[in-house]
């Protein structure tokens, strides 16, 4: 069986320890818009007026701690930006808020910045290159992704002034 190519991932729900702190990051730093809030137990945020891209809840995690390394669970949530300039602007916001980066990679098909939200959830901020520019293996089938260093300063400089 092959999955229908129109299928995509619509939203993700994250368990957080403190809803206000999580909203400060997702809305205050990354710029998502609050769409709905359920008291101090859940909130739904999105870009562009969508009902929600990210659900944040404390239903099972209020006051909790991040899962320890070496356990299973979500590796990261990837947030795709439409172009290099908007990705660079998001990285500027993150760095301006004093949030450390875990890494920055050029995957050939995309440029990606890695960090953690206040609850330790992995976050990838990335932009895809045009499909015509994706590296391909010798036989032309599939993609030939790589992991090379990404120069964050060049990313920001190439995007121009804020």
Count the neighbouring beta carbons within 10 Å of the beta carbon of residue 74. Answer: 11
74 HSE (CA, 13 A, CB side): 17
- Is residue 125 within 8 A of residue 87, CB to CB? The reply is yes
Residue 126 phi, psi (nearest 5): -150, 165
The closest of 27, 73, 29 to 52, measured between CA atoms, is: 27
Q: pTM value? A: 0.93
Distance between the two ends of the chain, CA-based, in angstroms? 47
Place of tokens 């129109």: 6
Instruction: Give me the domains of the chain, ranges plus CATH numbers.
Output: 11-61 (3.10.180.10), 76-162 (3.30.720.110)
84 Cα distance to chain centroid: 14
The closest of 115, 148, 146, 113 to 127, measured between CA atoms, is: 113
The closest of 64, 43, 42, 44 to 53, measured between CA atoms, is: 44
Q: What is the pLDDT of residues 33-84, one digit of tens each?
A: 999 999 999 999 999 999 999 999 999 999 999 988 899 989 999 999 999 9
Q: What is the pLDDT of residues 114-149, one digit of tens each?
A: 999 999 999 999 999 999 999 999 887 899 999 999
Q: What is the pLDDT of residues 23-41, one digit of tens each?
A: 999 999 999 999 999 999 9
Judging by DSSP bridges, how do beta strands 12-15 and 54-57 pair with one another? parallel
Burial track 26-41 (b if 16+ CB lie within 10 A, e otherwise): beebbebeebeeeeee
24 DSSP 8-state letter: I
């Amino acid at each position: 069986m092959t999955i229908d190519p129109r299928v995509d991932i619509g939203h993700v729900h994250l368990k957080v320890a403190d809803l206000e702190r999580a909203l400060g990051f997702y809305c205050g730093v990354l710029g998502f818009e609050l769409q709905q809030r359920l008291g101090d137990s859940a909130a739904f945020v999105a870009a562009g007026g969508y009902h929600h891209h990210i659900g944040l809840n404390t239903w099972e995690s209020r006051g909790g701690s991040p899962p320890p390394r070496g356990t299973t669970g979500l590796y990261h949530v990837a947030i795709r930006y439409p172009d290099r300039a908007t990705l660079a602007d998001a990285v500027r916001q993150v760095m301006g808020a004093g949030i450390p980066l875990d890494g920055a990679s050029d995957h050939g098909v995309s440029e990606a910045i890695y960090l953690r939200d206040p609850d330790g959830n992995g976050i990838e901020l990335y932009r895809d290159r045009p499909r015509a520019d994706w590296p391909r293996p010798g036989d032309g089938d599939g993609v030939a992704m790589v992991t090379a260093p990404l120069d964050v300063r060049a990313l920001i400089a190439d995007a121009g002034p804020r």
